[in-house]
Amino acid sequence: MKKLFFTFILLLISLLAFNQNIPSYEPIMDEFFSIYKNNTPPEAIDFIFKTNPTIMQRNAEEVTQIKLKLSALTAMLGEYYGYEKIKEQNYGESLVVITYMLKYAYQPLFYTFTLYYPKDKWQLQTVKFDDKIQN
């Protein structure tokens, strides 16, 4: 009986040692939307892309194009009223795809973020924005 108990304890300890205990991605998204509301959408895009330096280094021109397109689009949508999370899909513990609806005066704008936790922090993998509802 003692042997079984000690085996159980060792198994439990080993399982706990391998548990990554990954923190929530939500503080990054809260900061993104705070910058979006209080500054400008392009500044929020800069913030979220800086979570993954590789993207900023390799795709600086594409990031600039995204910011220009976003500025043009949001200028046509009217006043910004806030956002709602409308979909979240987890792929294990280290990858999440989240879609938000941003509420504007004329119509909503949808953002889909793919965030990845490779080792010690959440980072952006992809972001898409669209003014059409996606299934």
Specify the pLDDT at position 46: 94
Check which CATH number belongs to the domain holding 42 and give it: 3.10.450.630
Residue 30 in this model has a pLDDT that exceeds 90: yes
Hey, what are 30's tokens? 């809260």
Specify the pLDDT at position 51: 95
Confirm whether 13 is domain-assigned.
no
Q: What value does the CA radius of gyration of the chain take, rounded to a whole number of Å?
A: 20
Specify the pLDDT at position 59: 85
pLDDT digits (tens, 9 = 90+) for 59-81: 888 989 999 999 999 999 999 99
Domain residues for the domain of 87 are 23-130
- DSSP code per residue over 43-110: HHHHHHHTTSHHHHHH-HHHHHHHHHHHHHHHHHH--EEEEEEEEEEEETTTEEEEEEEEEESS--EE
The mean pLDDT of 50-59, rounded to a whole number, is 88
Confirm whether 4 is domain-assigned.
no
Q: Who wins on pLDDT, 6 or 91? A: 91
Confirm whether 11 is domain-assigned.
no
The mean pLDDT of 26-32, rounded to a whole number, is 97
Confirm whether 15 is domain-assigned.
no
Confirm whether 92 is domain-assigned.
yes
Confirm whether 49 is domain-assigned.
yes
Confirm whether 33 is domain-assigned.
yes
The mean pLDDT of 80-93, rounded to a whole number, is 97
Cβ contact 115:95 at 8 Å: yes
Q: How many domains does the chain have?
A: 1
Cβ contact 103:80 at 8 Å: yes
Confirm whether 6 is domain-assigned.
no
Mean of all residue pLDDT scores within the chain: 87
pLDDT digits (tens, 9 = 90+) for 112-121: 999 999 999 9
